[in-house]
């Protein structure tokens, strides 16, 4: 990965340093009200990734999270990689907007990319809450990602 000044650095180091910084800030902020603060091993970590990412890129994030000290083993269950569109569905209580079986589209217009995914609301009448991500089973998932504004 090239920096603006032309020097090259390993991408894994850049992502690791990013996660390390956010980890430190998050633990500092969340641990302010706790008498002994908060340590990385006390926390269930969630890291969102785009739905269209390949396993290699997800594995890369897991590796970076491990190197940044979020988890002690790369395969730790203390880190969940959550898909961004599914996280968005959880955040906006999609079950209140869509009935089971309804198809719906998630448009994520971010600062750098626009991501579009199609989902179907899974039927699960036996559960009282619809917040669990497993209730959203993407059926015909189509994703598009482009880079409208950002120079590479």
Residues 74-103 close enough to bind other proteins by CB under 8 A: 74-78, 80-84, 86-87, 90
| Nearest alpha carbon to residue 85 among 54, 53, 44 | 53
130 binds other proteins (CB under 8 A): no
Region 29-68 residues binding other proteins, contact defined as CB under 8 A: 29-30, 34, 38, 41-48, 50-63
Rounded least distance, CB 79 to other proteins, Å = 9
C-alpha span between 15 and 9 (Å, rounded): 11
User: Which residue in the set 5, 96, 99, 140 belongs to the binding site for other proteins (CB under 8 A)?
Assistant: 5
Q: Please say whether the beta carbons of 106 and 88 come within 8 A.
A: yes
| CB 79, CB 45: distance < 8 Å | yes
Instruction: Give dist(CA 19, CA 51) in Å, integer.
Output: 20
Q: Given the complex with other proteins, which of 13 and 102 has the nearer CB atom?
A: 13
By CB under 8 A, how many residues form the interface with other proteins? 82
Q: Which of 72, 92, 103, 107 binds other proteins (CB under 8 A)?
A: 72
Burial track 61-81 (b if 16+ CB lie within 10 A, e otherwise):
bbebbbbbbbbeeeeeebbeb
Task: Tell the smallest beta-carbon distance from residue 120 to other proteins (Å).
Answer: 10
């Amino acid at each position: 990965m090239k920096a603006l000044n032309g020097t090259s650095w390993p991408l894994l180091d850049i992502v690791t340093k990013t996660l390390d910084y956010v980890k430190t800030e998050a633990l500092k902020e969340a641990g302010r009200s706790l008498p002994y603060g908060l340590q990385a091993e006390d926390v269930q970590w969630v890291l969102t990734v785009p739905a269209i990412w390949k396993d290699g890129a997800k594995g890369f994030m897991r590796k970076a999270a491990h190197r940044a000290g979020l988890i002690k083993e790369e395969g730790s269950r203390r880190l969940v990689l959550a898909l961004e569109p599914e996280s968005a569905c959880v955040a906006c209580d999609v079950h209140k907007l869509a009935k089971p079986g309804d198809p719906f589209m998630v448009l994520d217009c971010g600062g750098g990319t626009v991501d579009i995914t199609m989902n179907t609301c899974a039927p699960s009448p036996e559960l009282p809450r619809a917040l669990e991500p497993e209730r959203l089973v993407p059926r015909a998932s189509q994703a598009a990602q482009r880079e409208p504004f950002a120079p590479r």
